[in-house]
Structure 1
């Protein structure tokens, strides 16, 4: 009899614990940085995203691990840096993970969560994620931004299908990915015009054509905000808002000059907002250095399950709930392959004030192929300056863009006084000690995370493979897959 009572008590405790576990809603937008009103951008109104920040915690310093889609999402799914999991470039260009790692979906489904995914997966192999999704909808990228109401409608179906189980849902929106449309199917209702829009600081003063591009970008942000508002309405109508933690991030910066694919602040720094009713104090702005490597540990913590071994990130839960003020001293981002013609590995590390960018191929006389493509290829004209337009820029901007096009091996920036990296301080006497310290910290991180970029032989092997494939395929990708999966980390 006593045994039955004990078992009943244990079952009740487990049920109570399961009931207390929060639902998790992860909202991911495409190709946008912090160009949002609650981040101080006066060019645009984003009331729905602003409401998340007003009711939750906004991180001033939120980062992705690599500023292109597949590597960024690979980290969100696995909690590993791209150089660790293998997804170092776009899935559409046949880059892939070294193996089927544990993902947010496999872990959360095993933990008893009802799992859902709206929008693209965009990693290889896709089934490492897809096999653990209970509710799948809108599988395409939808860059045309058609039928955007479906995201909220399908989310409402998911909320209902979850029943009494806790849920884990990721909603991936297509804005502000190219093409940058001023209006699609009446969204936004009143598009901005160029005379209503100022500059984006990291681009600098724009010419007329670039200013029209920037205007279209802000209209994408208004359309994104509209869609997020519809999603939040459906969450509220489901009756599950109070026990749901909502996290909103961008997958990387905008596809604009010095943005997407680069190891710049404009490429790596994204909106990162957390709302958790009665758990996270409302209206808090944090300067802590947070990354998408922290999402997997956070989700495991929220679900009350063991975090996969050797993840480099940290659970946000103790920090966002005020249990600790301790956080990381350094944050690191990387750049690898992206697509074959954009191959230009870099590593970037920052502390609370200073940042270092290392470009290891510069010693071989290598220009940044990504920047070269941005300004010379016709397909990029809708997002960047051309060579001729760069020549017409003011002298101070010419120097900035020349550094972008032909970076030195090391760059050092004082982000407190130069947020968008206009003035490279590397080699300057006044930052000598800072430069030495950051180089040591970067080297320590590469050793700790087993980064192949720190091994000259492996870096050369990857560089040679890219050159060989580029020559053989005229800038496409290998039909039989990349060989780096066999030699960068053969132990995996």
Structure 2
């Protein structure tokens, strides 16, 4: 009898052990995987956003199966600062990455980043494509592949292949960020047969509408930008096919976004809508609502809180964003956000032109902090100073435009302190209303909102002494390291991370 009882006890313990393991494993699989897809240098120029010139069936289908955000924005329209926001959940002036990593700008010390949060939470973390934030050691993904920029867009099928290897390689829930190089300059008409049916400038009736100007040259660049969007969609299709083949698609939340707008005049590097507004699509297989078009104001500062919400990790109280998961339940859900904010310094020393902006559902205010000084972005674009600016609008193209567009380029070249736009009546921001008496109440309300945001987020450029010191540092760098030579100097180090965070 004793022997039988012992056997029963042993079997019971064994059964509890096995059940416990299964239960634990079952609990683990309840936490969804996260696939984050990021494309470079494109606004919401997709079929699902109403752009008929492109063919983007894979991303359009993703929108049909999930939620498309009509009003999604980044807080800085340049790559490194935009990506640092995704990794930290903080505005660039809060995390320190206020310019391009290739120009030695870097995050402050002791800023906790996305992979650290998710590694601690038991996720496998990976990145495919470029990271482009300093210091890279503070963003410790467990897996990485294709680390270069790949501006030639070669072997795009490898992104999906590497993703498949990672997805299939772990039993833990995973977070994978896949970064595609389209539509970063140089723009290519076709690479390795992609897209299958490229267009030419003659196929278009005009250039991108926010440019305002039009010419045969601008249409050709616009056509190749659209070709890049088609090629991006083919790449995303290959990736989603691999996810489906892995058997993990039903437990994977897919998030697609662009890192900022296209590199045409008044786009990338600006605080106009064409620089800050991005496509954002989220598909959560567990949500019944499909083909939702969400109109709430959202920002990429919301991504880290969203990832932590998915992983069932409490968000730190210092994060300014909010989880997007509630907004996936339908267009009727609101986030009660009244304003969206953005910064920007210029990304390099020669492009330094600090600005801040705020918009609500109708109006946009831009503060030009060095008003009275010419905006260097205008000349960089107009003269095509390097290949990244080849599609910039030339003086002759501006002069052949409407008076409204000519005036808009004058404002962009020599900005006043404030620019105010009615985005409902003037979606491409051609008519500055800051001096219009009828809009003074709107102007003052947005100025107050912007100053409050700067104060609450400890914007260092709100402090006159820090602003003056940073201006002096920029001038000194341009004097001692002409033509960005500091970017090749291994000993060069920016000083702002030391004094921006001191009282």
Cα distance in 2 between the residues matched to 1:8 and 1:431: 70
Q: For the Cα contact (< 8 Å) 1:43–1:196, is it kept in 2?
A: no
Q: In structure 2, what is the equivalent of residue 217 of structure 1? A: 225
| Structure 1 pair 9–443 and aligned structure 2 pair: CA distance change class (3 A) | farther
SS at match of 2:118: helix
TM-score computed with the length of structure 2 as normaliser: 0.92
Alignment pair present for 1:118 and 2:128: yes
Within 5 A, what are the aligned runs for 1:341-356? Answer: 341-356=350-365
Question: What is the CA-CA distance between 1:326 and the residue it aligns to?
Answer: 3.0
Q: In structure 1, what is the equivalent of residue 72 of structure 2? A: 62
Q: Which has the larger radius of gyration?
A: 2
Question: What is the CA-CA distance between 1:277 and the residue it aligns to?
Answer: 1.2
Q: For the Cα contact (< 8 Å) 2:189–2:198, is it kept in 1?
A: yes
Q: In structure 1, what is the equivalent of residue 174 of structure 2? A: 167
SS at match of 2:281: strand
Alignment pair present for 1:412 and 2:420: yes
Alignment pair present for 1:486 and 2:495: no
Q: In structure 2, what is the equivalent of residue 325 of structure 1? A: 334
Q: In structure 2, what is the equivalent of residue 33 of structure 1? A: 43
Question: What is the CA-CA distance between 1:6 and the residue it aligns to?
Answer: 11
Output one character per residue of 1:65-101: Cα deviation in whole Å (capped at 9) or x when no partner.
1000100000011101000000000000000001142
CA RMSD of aligned residues (A): 2.1
Cα distance in 2 between the residues matched to 1:134 and 1:280: 33
Q: For the Cα contact (< 8 Å) 2:359–2:365, is it kept in 1?
A: yes
Uncovered stretches (5+) of structure 2, i.e. residues with no partner:
1-11
Cα distance in 2 between the residues matched to 1:40 and 1:341: 37
Q: For the Cα contact (< 8 Å) 2:94–2:458, is it kept in 1?
A: yes
Question: What is the CA-CA distance between 1:407 and the residue it aligns to?
Answer: 1.2
Within 5 A, what are the aligned runs for 1:438-477? Answer: 438-476=446-484
Q: In structure 1, what is the equivalent of residue 104 of structure 2? A: 94
Alignment pair present for 1:379 and 2:386: yes
Q: In structure 2, what is the equivalent of residue 193 of structure 1? A: 200
Cα distance in 1 between the residues matched to 2:301 and 2:49: 22
Output one character per residue of 1:264-293: Cα deviation in whole Å (capped at 9) or x when no partner.
100000001101113161101011111110
Question: What is the CA-CA distance between 1:453 and the residue it aligns to?
Answer: 1.8
Q: In structure 1, what is the equivalent of residue 216 of structure 2? A: 208
| Structure 1 pair 449–13 and aligned structure 2 pair: CA distance change class (3 A) | farther
SS at match of 1:168: strand
Alignment pair present for 1:83 and 2:93: yes
Q: For the Cα contact (< 8 Å) 2:269–2:346, is it kept in 1?
A: no
Cα distance in 2 between the residues matched to 1:280 and 1:345: 44
Question: What is the CA-CA distance between 1:314 and the residue it aligns to?
Answer: 0.4
Cα distance in 2 between the residues matched to 1:146 and 1:265: 30
SS at match of 2:231: helix
